Every structure is written in structure tokens, then in C-alpha cells.
């Protein structure tokens, strides 16, 4: 049976938890100064609104499909920085084991690539999903929407 790609989540001020921390890492990757603390507070709201204005999106502070699509950064092995931290945070979210967290170090090395490929393989029947170890728009959407959460 073919799985359908889940829609981008709607995230706004006052929310906490998944995928807020990933959102914050992506905002940081796009040059916005915000703490990656998982709390969508006033500073995250201001960063989202600034980003939306820069991209000529509706400036409403709500992160929906258009804002997510503009935010995501293609990441692959050898990349470093906050976008990679966002990918790693997604796998940390999925482990569900505080004793053995996925290391969020911002380095897209072999462990991150293996996790991405494994995730993509598990969703290989989703239209547009390619098992290539690269986190592009379809993989980002699957991750951020919470697909295959434990």
C-alpha cells in the first residue's frame, strides 16, 4: 500500500515541542537569531514574521506549508550548521530514548546519512521519496510532519 506524504504542520506562537525546535534551527540557518529551545515564544514569532516578510509571504507568524517550503535547506553528507542540526533534531525526536539521544552536533556525517537513508527507505513507497541520503523538500516534509514517529 502506498503511503501518502503527510501535510506540513501548522505551527504558531504559544506552541512547544515538535517541530518547534527544528523550525528554530531552520530560522537560524536562514540567518535569524533565535534560541533553539523548542518554545515558540515572542522571539521565534518575530523571527518567523521577519522571514515571511523577506520571502514575500503572508506575514502572520503562522508557519504553514508556504513558510516551511521557503525555510527548508537541502542538506547532505559533508554539510555543517543549523540546518543539519534540524535534521538531527528530527532523528533525536524519533529515538524517544533520552538515555541514547541522536547527537545534534551540526555535522552531516556517516551516522546522519545512515539515519536519513534508513528513514527514506522506510518511506520509499511515498511518492517523490528518493533513497539518496539527501534531505530535500520531500524528506523534510516527512520529517517535520512527524511521519514514522515512535
Is 30 within the bounds of a domain? yes
Is 36 within the bounds of a domain? yes
Look at residue 2 in the predicted model and tell me its pLDDT: 66
Look at residue 143 in the predicted model and tell me its pLDDT: 96
CA 116 to chain CA centroid, nearest Å: 12
Is 72 within the bounds of a domain? yes
Is 2 within the bounds of a domain? no
- Do 28 and 44 form a contact (C-beta atoms < 8 A)? no
**Structural domains in the chain (count):** 1
Name the residue range of residue 106's domain. Answer: 20-144
Query: Residue 51 phi/psi, 5° resolution?
Result: -60, -45
The structure's pTM equals: 0.94
Whole-Å CA distances, 139 to 13, 54, 68, 110: 25, 24, 12, 17
What CATH number corresponds to the domain at position 52? 1.10.101.10
Is 116 within the bounds of a domain? yes
Cell representation of residue 96: 524517544
Mean pLDDT by 10 residues, the chain (150 residues): 86 96 98 97 98 98 98 98 97 75 92 95 94 97 87
Look at residue 77 in the predicted model and tell me its pLDDT: 98
Is 139 within the bounds of a domain? yes
Amino acid at each position: 500500500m502506498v503511503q501518502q506524504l503527510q501535510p506540513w504542520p501548522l505551527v504558531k506562537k504559544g506552541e512547544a515541542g515538535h517541530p518547534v525546535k527544528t523550525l528554530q534551527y531552520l530560522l537560524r540557518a536562514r540567518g535569524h537569531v533565535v534560541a533553539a529551545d523548542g518554545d515558540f515564544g515572542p522571539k521565534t514569532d518575530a523571527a518567523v514574521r521577519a522571514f515571511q516578510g523577506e520571502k514575500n509571504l503572508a506575514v502572520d507568524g503562522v508557519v504553514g506549508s508556504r513558510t516551511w517550503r521557503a525555510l527548508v535547506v537541502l542538506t547532505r553528507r559533508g554539510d555543517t550548521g543549523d540546518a543539519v542540526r534540524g535534521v538531527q533534531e528530527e532523528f533525536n525526536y524519533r529515538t524517544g530514548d533520552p538515555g541514547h539521544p541522536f547527537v545534534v552536533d551540526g555535522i552531516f556525517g556517516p551516522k546522519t546519512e545512515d539515519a536519513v537513508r534508513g528513514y527514506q527507505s522506510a518511506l520509499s513507497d511515498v511518492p517523490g521519496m528518493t533513497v539518496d541520503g539527501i534531505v530535500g523538500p520531500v524528506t523534510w516534509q516527512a520529517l517535520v510532519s512527524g511521519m514514522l514517529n515512535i
